[in-house]
Amino acid sequence: MTATHPDRAPRTDDEIPMLGPDSVTWRYFGGWRGMLMGLWSGSMQNMHPKLGAAVWEHSDFFGERWQRLMRSLYPISGVVFDRTAATGREVRDHHRTISGTMPDGSRYHALDPDVFYWAHATFWYGAVRCAEAFGPPISEADKRAMFDESRVWYSMYGLSLRPCPDTYEDFLAYWDHMCRTVLEDHPAVRTVLDIAELPPPPWMSWMPGVLWRPAAKVVARGFVWVTTGLYDEPVRELLGLSWSARDERRFRRFGRAVDLTMRLVPPRYRLHPRPRDAWDRVSGRVAADAPLVETPIRNLPPPDRRGLPEHYCPVSAARRADLPWQR
């Protein structure tokens, strides 16, 4: 679908366009293959100087990384799949209080359209990258259609459309410019990539540390390798990561293996619960007015900290002294 979004007065909910089952985005976004993009998305976002500063100063992501990741998937995918403007506003409003001062004295705010659009770009273009790397195969026509739909998606946040490129070619030029001249290495980036010391995820809390710790180190190396393969070459150079022709061949074989494996999974179960729920509503399996699927209780923040913006945004100041490069 193609979207047009003239800048004008705020629209009512009925005037805000929504994506639906006929869209390309519904076909390529929201699947479990996207979990392989987790480190890529988080690190690419945090390489934006202002976004990295906001995460570093305000978020407690690194205090409960598994839980925040798993619960954030629900509203983030819900902006696309819930077919209501309320979810986009919810995600936007989690960021209202996130502001501060950069090292050069300039100010930042999480709702600065240029900052917020960069985060959005990593989500929609991450879906393209995921399909390119791990399937299902995506055509150039579908990439262009998804770009058009990404403007619809972004409009659901209720922010200025000024930073949105006008065409897919403009977006590719924007992306290349960001990777080459704007993005920066940052402690928040390195912390995202450092997952070797994480505790077991909530659904594996039964695993004793003596078994988890060595397994986590192996998994961490694998995820960093996958993430390195997903990066544009200028980003690899920025972070000092090497990537050989042999790595590229292995990466492509790995991607094909992921695609073949996922094809063995029934289509409904290839999807995260919130997108699956959306498709179930369309098919009639679930009533259209049923409550939205929400994250399990195990993924919620501690009771005394629920509702605080740092739990939906990501290292808090209290945690920084614990990080190796801050000692």
Q: Where are the alpha helices (DSSP H) in 82-208?
A: 85-93, 113-134, 140-155, 168-177, 187-193
CA distance 258 to 325: 35
pLDDT given at position 94? 84
C-alpha R_g of the chain: 19
Please give the pLDDT value at position 298.
Answer: 79
* Rounded CA separation 22/217 (Å): 41
- One digit per residue, pLDDT tens: the chain, 327 residues? 333 333 434 455 556 688 999 999 999 999 999 999 999 999 999 999 998 888 777 665 556 777 778 888 999 999 999 999 899 998 998 888 878 888 888 888 888 999 999 999 999 999 999 999 999 999 999 999 999 999 999 999 999 999 999 999 999 999 999 999 999 998 889 988 988 888 887 778 788 888 888 988 999 999 999 999 999 999 999 999 999 999 999 999 999 999 999 999 999 999 999 999 999 999 999 999 999 998 888 777 777 666 665 555 333 333 333 433 333
pLDDT at residue number 194: 87
Cis-peptide, bond into residue 266, ω within 30° of zero:
no
CA gap 170, 240 in Å, rounded: 28
Q: Give the pLDDT confidence score for residue 323 in this predicted structure.
A: 36
In this prediction, residue 279 carries a pLDDT of 97
Q: Which residues, at least 6 apart from 321, have a Cβ–Cβ distance to it below 8 Å?
A: 327
8 A C-beta contact, residue 195 and residue 39: yes
* Joined tokens for residue 326: 């801050």
Residue 231 identity: Y
Greatest alpha-carbon span in the chain? 59
Contact 75, 156 (CB under 8 A): no
Q: What is the pLDDT of residue 161?
A: 92
Q: Can you give the pLDDT at residue 322?
A: 42
Determine which helix (DSSP H) or strand (DSSP E) holds 107, and give its type and residue range.
strand 107-109
Position 206 scores a pLDDT of 82
Q: Could you give phi then psi for residue 193, rounded to 5 degrees?
A: -75, -15
- pLDDT value, residue 48: 95
Alpha helix (H) residue ranges in the chain:
24-28, 38-46, 49-58, 65-81, 85-93, 113-134, 140-155, 168-177, 187-193, 209-230, 233-239, 245-263, 273-283, 317-320
User: Looking at residue 278, what DSSP letter applies?
Assistant: H
Amino acid at 95: H
- List, in order, residues 6 or more apart from 175 with CB less than 8 Å away: 121, 125, 232
Mapping DSSP to helix (H, G, I), strand (E, B) and coil, where does residue 22 land? coil
What is the reported pLDDT for 3?
A: 39
Predicted pLDDT of residue 245: 97
pLDDT at 7: 43
Full-model pTM: 0.86
